[in-house]
A and B are shown apart, each in its own frame.
Chain A
Amino acid sequence: MTELVIFSLLNGLVTGLLLFMLSSGLTLIFSMMGVLNFAHASFYMLGAYFAYTISSYIGFWPGLIVAPLLVGLAGALVERYGLRHVHRHGHVAELIFTFGLAFLIEEIVQFFWGRATKDYSEPELLHFPLFTLYGQNFPAYKAFMILISIGIFIGLFTVLSRSRIGLIIQAAITHPHTVSNLGHNVPLVFMGVFGVGSALAGLAGVIAGPALGTFPGMAFVLGSIVFVVIVVGGLGSLPGAFVASLLIGWLQTFAIALDWSVNDLLDILGVSFDADHVLRDLWTLSLPQVAPILPYILLILILIFRPTGLMGKRET
């Protein structure tokens, strides 16, 4: 049991921090422009694919730097020539645009890289078990993922709260016109934030690609969960996104690890049901089975009972 808990904690931390790398950019973009970027996870996928191609020529480590930069550039271009154009039609149009973009990016990825999963793997340098506990290995690459994510978190927090650029960004969120009147180029700030947010998603893709697989559906798998994270955390709240990322990371890993089912509960209560009943699926329901839907149940509960999210100020 201890072993299970420790490893679930660690794996949940990896998932949660990965989610945070995506949700931090997404929530930052949302609080600035009021746009929920549906294509955010697509930039994550682009990061993984770029890094795959780069790593097949010059290795993993240059890809770690170059791929996020390329993704950031792509994000900035999307903001400048796509989103800004659609902006005058309102938020719903923007949401539809990013949805179309997500659809298009998936097709573009299939165009260039095909439908099959790519053999993008972690570097040799990190290909060893970091430590062994109760006979189970913890791979060094996962520790590396944790390290990178925490580094990004600290970096982002420092830039936002301590630097001049962070000051301008924070001001532009609440008072764009005042900031503009002070002589700052607010559209440029928007483009920059969108680019940096995309680059963060790209970086998440670079480090998640080897661990979770690099395939055309990877954006789809993670995309909706990231939305859940930022709504549960509270739209526009960075600390909320952090808490919700970890919460959902752990929720999912523990649900998969703990093989409890409704049947077990019924056994404890001393009730039994006949196995052929129409509702049989309900009684054999186990925790690993419902793991994929737990985040969405959480989302709906949050939206009903606490529409501001865990730490958000504005009502969603």
Chain B
Amino acid sequence: MSASETTTARVVAPDTEPAWKRVADDQMRRGAFTRTLPMWVGAFALLMVMPLLFPSAVGVTIMNQMGISIVFALSYNMLLGQGGMLSFGHAVYFGLGGFLSVHVMNYVEYDGWWLPLPLLPFLGGLFGLAFAIPIAGFSTRRAGTVFAMISLGVGELVAACSIIFVAFFGGEEGVSGDRTMGPPVFGSEFLSEVEVYYLTAVIVLISALFMYLFSRTPAGRMANAVRDNEERAEFVGYSQRYVRFVSFCAAGFFAGVAGGLFAINYEILTEENLNLVTSGWVLLMAFIGGVGFFIGPIVGAILLTLLQTVLSNHTELWQLYVGILFVLTVMYAPRGLTGLVMMHGPALRAGRLGMLAVPYAIAVVPLLALLAGTALLLEMGHTANQSVVGESEAHVFGLTLDVTTALPWVVAAVLAVGGGYGLYRIAQYLRDAFAQATGPAGGHQ
């Protein structure tokens, strides 16, 4: 088994993979859990103290939302990042898991079912899995465009069904429940948001751990091999279809878990939770964070949840900013934000990270000018376009700007254009500095 894996890894990237990485990979395989244990303990400790750092109701609500998004985005990455399957319908399993969880909550409340609340998300996961199995059966034959199309079709189909089958999906107003009716767990009936936070945190950690361990099992490793080269993976003796099938089912399960968490948190599910918008949102989270890294979707989920909850309080244009961020990520940082950080690894190991400090400090100035100028232009444009007649003040960065006067426009345009031009001018200098810091010792690239 382990011999065949190593062969695949070497065949896929014979020259590009440095020796240290190969060694690290081998070590990782031997003790996926024990080696990363300190990190998991650290994550657990962090999760436990977070409510003490952000005790406000808003803070806890946002963290709960983050937890749900993290599980959802990680499950999505089992498809896209680890298995090479681009899905436009992953919200189906999230939504179905959530809907079932709300129904079970209602059974607990009205029909006297006995079920401690912490088990509910896993029930949602099983329901997600139950739906993922038949759909995986016919959609994992191929990856790539075809898989994406089928996932889109299934997503639309289920979303459309949710309006038709009112008994299960509750029609337009959705289905709501009450999480507090189950038997108390450690004396808690989950009346407050903080109690829900701790429940969410534990389940997030368990799910993340199992998804991480899955990525280290032979099934998870073969998913990578199939993603990189399905033909060679078949020569090693694995059916690409079966490998994808397993990944897909696992992803469906964890999406269902995320849906169950959502049900516990919001106590209501609507058609919105399983339609294409939610499916697209999870793609954005995973991709902006970085699909090539296990931690990438976590970064993306945290960042996008922050944008969704905090930025949306300050500007109506937040989705436009997210869209711009996403397209820029696809074009210029296909390995996501995590990839941007990780590409400094060689410099760090060579002890030359300090060489980048000055170039980066210089780059920050035009970058900030560009961002500020663009944001000003967009916000003022929005005010000029949309506001009711007579209202001509845009509120940006705590400033109040009158969009009928020329001065703010000129300043914003100068900032944006100047920043853009400045970045363009120093781009080559930055590239050289980066190459020098990461390149082979003592030499120039």
A-side interface residues toward B, CB under 8 Å? Answer: 34, 36, 82, 85-86, 89, 91-93, 95-97, 99-101, 103-104, 106-108, 110-112, 114, 220, 224, 227-228, 231, 278-282, 285, 289-290, 292-293, 296-297, 299-300, 303-304, 307, 316
Contacts and interface: CB of A to CB of B under 8 A. Distances in A.
Contact of B330 (A86, A110, A220): A86
B403 to A, nearest CB: 14
Contact of B145 (A36, A224, A280, A290): A36
Contacts of A110: 320
B20 interface: no
Contacts of A89: 334
A109 to B, nearest CB: 10
Given A95-B86, A304-B138, A296 B334 contact: no
B315 to A, nearest CB: 11
B334 A104 contact: no
B280 interface: yes
Interface in B381-434: 381-382, 385-386
Contacts of A280: 167
Contact of B385 (A92, A114, A228): A114
Given A280-B167, A281-B164, A281-B166, A300 B385 contact: no
A112 B385 contact: yes
Nearest to B288: A100
Contacts of A103: 280, 284, 323, 326
Q: Nearest 4 A-B pairs (CB), nearest first?
A: A104-B323, A296-B157, A107-B320, A293-B160
A194 B148 CA distance: 21
B148 A101 contact: no
Nearest to A285: B164
**At the interface, is chain A mostly helix, strand, loop or mixed?**
helix
Contacts of B149: 36, 227, 231, 299, 303, 316
Contacts of A281: 164-168
B276 interface: yes
A91 B317 contact: no
A96 B287 contact: yes
Contacts, number: 121
Given A97-B327, A111-B385, A224-B156, 16 more contacts: A89-B334, A93-B330, A103-B280, A104-B324, A110-B320, A111-B378, A112-B385, A231-B153, A281-B165, A281-B166, A281-B168, A300-B138, A300-B157, A307-B146, A316-B142, A316-B146
A215 B289 CA distance: 31
Contact of B148 (A36, A112, A282, A292): A36
Given A104-B323, A224-B276, A296 B146 contact: no
A279 B167 CA distance: 7
Given A89-B334, A278-B167, A300-B150, A100 B276 contact: no
Contacts of B320: 104, 107-108, 110-111
Interface of B: 84, 86, 88, 138-139, 141-142, 144-146, 148-150, 152-154, 156-157, 160-161, 163-168, 276, 280, 283-284, 287, 317, 319-320, 323-324, 326-327, 330-331, 334, 378, 381-382, 385-386
Contact of A96 (B86, B138, B382): B86
Contacts of A227: 149, 152-153
A108 B381 CA distance: 12
B160 A99 contact: no
Contacts of A93: 330, 334
A282 B148 CA distance: 29
A228 B283 CA distance: 21
A95 B287 CA distance: 13
A297 B150 CA distance: 11
Contacts of B154: 296, 300
A97 B319 CA distance: 16
21 contacts: A34-B145, A36-B149, A86-B330, A86-B334, A96-B86, A96-B287, A96-B330, A100-B326, A100-B327, A103-B326, A110-B320, A111-B382, A114-B385, A231-B149, A281-B165, A281-B166, A292-B160, A296-B157, A300-B150, A303-B146, A304-B138
Contacts of A303: 138-139, 146, 149-150, 153
Indicate the member of B139, B167, B382 with the most A CB atoms within 10 Å.
Answer: B167
Residue of B141, B326, B330, B331 contacting most chain A CB atoms (<10 Å): B330
A234 B157 CA distance: 20
A108 to B, nearest CB: 7
Nearest to A278: B167
Nearest to A92: B86
Given A92-B144, A99-B283, A220-B276, A300 B153 contact: yes
Contacts of B317: 107, 111
Contacts of A85: 331
Contacts of A297: 157
Given A92-B144, A95-B148, A114-B385, A290 B327 contact: no
Contacts of B139: 303
Nearest to A112: B385
B420 to A, nearest CB: 15
Contacts of B284: 100, 103
B164 A293 contact: yes
A111 B382 CA distance: 6
B143 to A, nearest CB: 8
A106 B276 CA distance: 14
B146 A82 contact: no
A279 B283 CA distance: 34
Nearest to A35: B145
A194 B378 CA distance: 29
A96 B386 contact: no
Contacts of B165: 281-282
Contacts of A36: 145, 148-149
B226 to A, nearest CB: 14
A140 to B, nearest CB: 33
A85 B334 CA distance: 11
